[in-house]
Amino acid sequence: MKPSLIFHGNSELLEGPVFDKINNLLYFVSILDGMVYCYNPKTKEILSMHLDSPVSCIYFKEKKVVLVSSKEGFYEVDFNTLQKKFAFQIDIDNNVRYNDGIQDAAGRIIIGTMGYPDVVNNLGKVYSYYKGESKMLIENTTISNGLAFTSDNKILYFIDTPTKKVAKYNYDIMTGDVKFDSYVIEFKGDSYPDGMCIDSNGMLWIAEWGGACISQWNPVTGKKINQIELPCPNVTSCCFDNNSNLYISTAKSDDTNDIYGGGLYYVDLTK
């Protein structure tokens, strides 16, 4: 399970890998650079588009067409034509930006915010947007990060990074409402949970900021099962491809010896 470096564009904060399993394409972002990337694993082609403010999260629309959240709103980005156009904006404060997000099975866009340019405790919120209307799901967050649904859409797992915990929310797919249930995982070491994804067995794979790894957890028992080490301390997020292998994004650190941070990695879990 040795990670392979497949992209390094000198990004300070590479984030948000999501895999389009229908079209076999990977998307990811460089948040502070405003860069959005489309990677074809078969041809190894990487396309990029630039937006004028920090970007964070990608939602699929059709082949090579995605919706991207930016500080200035959501944009439709077309990698077929390399064109972009403004789509909509949620009513958020000027001193926040979007961070991690996910789409539910009904098509709702769920996304969290955090203080920007300065991180402020409890300033963030998690919103849902659907058919032109938005509503707040979770409030008083600081750094909204990993979100993952169980396969039956009844549970939403959520990470507010400074809490060092994974929260479990009961989710109503009919209304899009959430209700806090409990904290199911707690990080007790020096690292912080960042982005995450969920596998076919319901296990959570969590990127560890400051931990140089992706760790696998059982959210029912709260126990750590396994981990995959990365050659850089700040691991930001992860996603599965069609073969249940992992793509992993990372960020730079203050360590002068950290030459691999900010890269995108691939791990073949079958080996």
For residue 189, give the CATH number of its domain.
Answer: 2.120.10.30
How far is it, in rounded angstroms, from Cα 253 to Cα 235? 10
How far is it, in rounded angstroms, from Cα 241 to Cα 252? 24
Longest dimension (CA), the chain: 50
Q: How many separate domains does the chain show?
A: 1
Q: Is 35 exposed, middle or buried (0-12, 13-18, 19+ CB in 10 A)?
A: middle
Looking at the DSSP bridge assignments, the partners of residue 13 are 251
Q: What is the pTM for the complete model shown? A: 0.96
Whole-number Cα distances in Å, 33 to 10, 96, 157, 266: 10, 17, 28, 22
Q: Which residues have C-beta within 8 Å of that of residue 185, sequence separation ≥ 6?
A: 165, 166, 193, 204, 206, 217, 219, 222
Query: Quick one: pLDDT at residue 157?
Result: 98
Whole-number Cα distances in Å, 50 to 78, 87, 150, 152, 178: 12, 16, 33, 36, 34
Measured in degrees and rounded to the nearest 5, phi and psi for residue 132 equal 85, 0
Single-letter residue type at 241: D
DSSP per residue, 26-69: EEEEETTTTEEEEE-TTT--EEEEE-SS-EEEEEEEETTEEEEE
Give the range of the structural domain holding residue 257, as residue numbers without chain letter: 4-267
Distance from chain centroid for Cα 74: 16
How far is it, in rounded angstroms, from Cα 75 to Cα 17? 17
Query: Quick one: pLDDT at residue 176?
Result: 96
Return the closest-CA partner of residue 64 out of 51, 53, 77, 73.
77
> What is the full per-residue pLDDT of the chain (271 aa) written as tens digits?
789 999 998 899 999 999 999 999 999 999 999 999 999 999 999 999 999 999 999 999 999 999 999 999 999 999 999 999 999 999 998 999 999 999 999 999 999 999 999 999 999 999 999 999 999 999 999 999 999 999 999 999 999 999 999 999 999 999 999 999 999 999 999 999 999 999 999 999 999 999 999 999 999 999 999 999 999 999 999 999 999 999 999 999 998 889 999 999 999 998 7
Return the closest-CA partner of residue 56 out of 38, 68, 67, 48.
68
Single-letter residue type at 248: I
